[in-house]
């Protein structure tokens, strides 16, 4: 009985302990969340109409500062407070990743070899503030540069950022100096970094415009694109701990989440009490890639802000390849010597094939400008027919070359290719070039009736006309001789 009572008392104490832990833990979590501001829309803001994204207004976004740019040109489509100095929080790691990837692909024969380099974490990875996000690196732990980058970009590991910085430059201070040098080279005039991870410092700041510049530079690296568009990743077992599973903090990448957007391809979140909620994103649709930066937004509004900006951008910008432009108004030619059974009487539509299939050529810009270029593409291109267009012609035969001159100054060349077979007429007359070639080769030339029929007919007609004219002249002369001449008469 006493044993049962003691057991009941122990269970009661344990339950009370768990209740207190749960209560105070939830309170602590609420307090931590409350420490990060979460801006919302201004009272009385005009309601956003998702059916008309082109009508987006600044007041329909919660972010204090934002910018939307087209990736390839850097053109700003919409912006607000884009040059105001702001603390970027973990979006700082975009620059850290850029430097690390440049190191991997320039210091080694291949970028894959560079990413396979092993980092040994130092003591400093364990001395970071406890309120920041980490992947739990331990002193002496060995991890590849690739895995550290994934841990930094997906899980926002501050310890991974420090480990990367020390591995590349020997110390984080030296690495930060390089970050600032690269920022200056890229034209990020409103930026100063004091660490590699983004934890608050009064000497650590940037602007929405500068973050867009850094992101565009990083997105030029295929490995960066792949990394920031990855939803889940596992860091393999290391020398001191088991494998570590992660999910990207970018909620717009998760197809099972409420904020998913299929066009999103990255990039990086950031959260801190001095920065509120930040998000740098990239999205691609119909050949157009956009980069947006929202700073000091709300916990959920950073996703809403980003979606609104992206939809606005896609309503303003368009992109077409030369192949797509050509397909809307292809070139037609007419073959000679075609078969009398040809239903199109020798008419042939030419298709195009890029001479350099690896080149990614696009005409990108405001939709009206792209459409105007497409409507007048023949004014911005040159065509050279390299064939005599004489049947027979086989589907796929290269008959000429089309050169486009894009607004960016590129001049991609495309083969003009036969889109169908054109059979030759039987006993078709030889061309002058064919006759000359046979004459030079000494080959006996057999002239077909088709070849001589027209000259013979023309010659016969000419002889008939001349004969008729000659007979008329003779007839007139004969009649003139038969008319009696008047006699002279004199009258007295």
Contact 398, 384 (CB under 8 A): no
| Amino acid 455: pLDDT | 63
Strand partners, 398: 417
Q: Identify whether residues 301 and 393 lie together within a single domain.
A: no
Our CA angle for 398, 403, 407, nearest 5°, is: 155
Nearest residue to 216 (alpha-carbon basis) of 149, 178, 267 = 267
Tokens of 409: 């100054």
Task: Give the domain-ending residue among 294, 316, 338.
Answer: 316
Answer yes or no: is 236 within a domain: yes
Q: Identify whether residues 153 and 174 lie together within a single domain.
A: yes
| DSSP character string of 195-230 | SSS----TT-BB-HHHHHHHHHHHHTSHHHHHHHT-
| Amino acid 32: pLDDT | 37
Our CA angle for 223, 301, 364, nearest 5°, is: 50
Q: Identify whether residues 155 and 217 lie together within a single domain.
A: yes
With 80 as the cut, is the pLDDT of residue 13 above it? no
Report the relative pairing of strands 288-297 and 142-144 from DSSP bridges: unpaired
Tokens of 424: 């030759």
| Amino acid 490: pLDDT | 47
Question: Taking all residues of the chain, what is their mean pLDDT, rounded to a whole number?
Answer: 88
More confident residue, 18 or 466: 466
More confident residue, 202 or 5: 202
Task: Give the domain-ending residue among 418, 443, 466.
Answer: 418
Query: Residue 373 and residue 453: Cα distance in Å, rounded?
Result: 49
Cα 291 off chain centre by: 11
Share of the chain above pLDDT 90, in %: 76
Query: Residue 111 and residue 97: Cα distance in Å, rounded?
Result: 13
Q: Which domain, by its residues, includes 264?
A: 29-316
In our burial notation (b when 16+ CB lie closer than 10 A, e otherwise), range 84-110 reads eebbbbbbbbbbbbbbbbbbbbeeeee
Quick one: average pLDDT of 263-280? 97
| Amino acid 483: pLDDT | 54
With 50 as the cut, is the pLDDT of residue 73 above it? yes
Query: Residue 236 and residue 332: Cα distance in Å, rounded?
Result: 59
More confident residue, 447 or 176: 176
Element (H, E) at 349: strand 347-354
Contact 327, 246 (CB under 8 A): no
pLDDT digits (tens, 9 = 90+) for 46-66: 999 999 999 999 999 999 999
More confident residue, 129 or 226: 226
Q: Which residues contact 321 (CB under 8 A, 6 or more apart)?
A: 287, 361, 362, 363
Q: Where residue 441 falls among pLDDT bands split at 50, 70, 90?
A: confident
Quick one: average pLDDT of 9-28? 37
Q: Identify whether residues 289 and 375 lie together within a single domain.
A: no
Task: Give the domain-ending residue among 316, 348, 378.
Answer: 316
Q: Identify whether residues 301 and 350 lie together within a single domain.
A: no
Q: Identify whether residues 374 and 278 lie together within a single domain.
A: no
Nearest residue to 235 (alpha-carbon basis) of 159, 348, 128, 327 = 159
CATH number at residue 57: 3.40.710.10
CA atoms within 13 A on the CB side of 143: 34
Nearest residue to 259 (alpha-carbon basis) of 294, 306, 227 = 306
| Amino acid 389: pLDDT | 93
Cα 180 off chain centre by: 28
Answer yes or no: is 375 within a domain: yes
Q: Where residue 79 falls among pLDDT bands split at 50, 70, 90?
A: very high
Q: Which residues contact 292 (CB under 8 A, 6 or more apart)?
A: 66, 67, 68, 69, 212, 279, 280, 281, 282, 283, 305, 306, 309, 310, 313
pLDDT digits (tens, 9 = 90+) for 143-180: 999 999 999 999 999 999 999 999 999 999 999 999 99
Answer yes or no: is 468 within a domain: no
pLDDT digits (tens, 9 = 90+) for 90-104: 999 999 999 999 999
| Amino acid 485: pLDDT | 55
Answer yes or no: is 398 within a domain: yes
Answer yes or no: is 259 within a domain: yes
State the catalytic residues: 90, 93, 156
Total number of domains in the chain: 2
CATH number at residue 352: 2.60.410
Q: Identify whether residues 408 and 306 lie together within a single domain.
A: no
Listed in order, strand segments (DSSP E) in 65-183 are: 65-70, 76-80, 118-120, 142-144
Quick one: average pLDDT of 198-212? 97
Q: Identify whether residues 123 and 217 lie together within a single domain.
A: yes
Q: Where residue 378 falls among pLDDT bands split at 50, 70, 90?
A: very high
Answer yes or no: is 490 within a domain: no
Quick one: average pLDDT of 5-34? 38
Q: Identify whether residues 74 and 165 lie together within a single domain.
A: yes
Tokens of 492: 């007295």
Contact 296, 278 (CB under 8 A): yes
Contact 363, 322 (CB under 8 A): yes
Answer yes or no: is 489 within a domain: no
| Amino acid 29: pLDDT | 33
Which of 103-117, 316-330, 432-446 has the weakest average pLDDT?
Answer: 432-446
Answer yes or no: is 464 within a domain: no
Q: Where residue 130 falls among pLDDT bands split at 50, 70, 90?
A: confident
Q: Identify whether residues 241 and 262 lie together within a single domain.
A: yes
| Amino acid 428: pLDDT | 65
| Amino acid 439: pLDDT | 77
Q: Identify whether residues 231 and 245 lie together within a single domain.
A: yes
Cα 428 off chain centre by: 50
Query: Is 229 exposed, middle or buried, given 0-12, 13-18 or 19+ CB atoms closer than 10 A?
Result: middle
Q: Identify whether residues 187 and 244 lie together within a single domain.
A: yes
């Amino acid at each position: 009985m006493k044993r049962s009572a003691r057991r009941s008392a122990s269970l009661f104490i344990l339950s009370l302990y768990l209740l207190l832990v749960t209560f105070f833990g939830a309170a602590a979590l609420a307090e931590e969340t409350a420490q990060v501001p979460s801006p919302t829309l201004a009272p009385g803001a005009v309601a956003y109409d998702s059916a008309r994204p082109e009508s987006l207004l600044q007041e329909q976004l919660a972010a204090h500062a934002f910018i939307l740019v087209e990736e390839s040109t850097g053109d700003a489509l919409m912006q607000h407070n884009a040059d105001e100095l702001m603390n970027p929080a973990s979006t700082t790691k975009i620059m850290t990743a850029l430097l690390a990837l440049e190191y991997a692909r320039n210091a080694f024969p291949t970028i894959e070899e560079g990413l396979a380099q092993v980092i040994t974490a130092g003591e400093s990875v364990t001395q970071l503030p406890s309120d920041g996000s980490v992947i739990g690196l331990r002193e002496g732990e060995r991890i590849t540069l690739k895995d550290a980058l994934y841990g930094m970009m997906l899980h926002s590991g501050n310890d991974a950022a420090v480990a990367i910085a020390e591995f590349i430059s020997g110390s984080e201070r030296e690495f930060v100096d390089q970050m600032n040098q690269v920022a200056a080279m890229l034209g990020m005039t409103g930026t100063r970094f004091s660490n590699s991870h983004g934890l608050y410092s009064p000497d650590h700041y940037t602007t929405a415009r500068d973050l867009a510049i850094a992101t565009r530079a990083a997105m030029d690296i295929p490995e960066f694109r792949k990394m920031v568009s990855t939803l889940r990743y596992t860091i393999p077992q290391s020398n001191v701990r088991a494998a570590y599973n992660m999910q990207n903090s970018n909620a717009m990448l998760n197809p099972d989440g409420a904020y998913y957007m299929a066009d999103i391809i990255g990039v990086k979140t950031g959260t801190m009490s001095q920065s509120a909620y930040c998000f740098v994103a990239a999205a691609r649709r119909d050949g157009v890639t956009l980069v947006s930066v929202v700073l000091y937004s709300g916990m959920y509004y950073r996703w809403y802000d980003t979606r609104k900006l992206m939809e606005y951008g896609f309503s303003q910008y368009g992109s077409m390849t030369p192949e797509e432009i050509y397909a809307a108004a292809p070139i037609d030619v007419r073959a000679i010597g075609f078969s009398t059974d040809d239903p199109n009487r020798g008419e042939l539509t030419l298709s195009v094939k890029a001479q350099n299939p690896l080149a990614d050529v696009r005409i990108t810009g405001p939709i009206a400008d792209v459409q105007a270029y497409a409507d007048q593409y023949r004014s911005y291109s040159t065509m050279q027919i390299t064939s005599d267009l004489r049947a027979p012609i086989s589907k796929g035969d290269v008959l000429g070359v089309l050169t486009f001159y894009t607004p960016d100054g590129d001049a991609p060349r495309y083969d003009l290719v036969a889109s169908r077979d054109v059979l030759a007429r039987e006993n078709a007359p030889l061309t002058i070039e064919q006759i000359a070639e046979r004459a030079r080769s000494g080959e006996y030339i057999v002239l077909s009736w088709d070849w001589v029929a027209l000259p013979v007919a023309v010659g016969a007609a000419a002889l008939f006309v001349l004969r008729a004219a000659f007979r008329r002249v003779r007839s007139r002369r004969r009649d003139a001789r038969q008319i009696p001449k008047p006699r002279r008469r004199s009258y007295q």
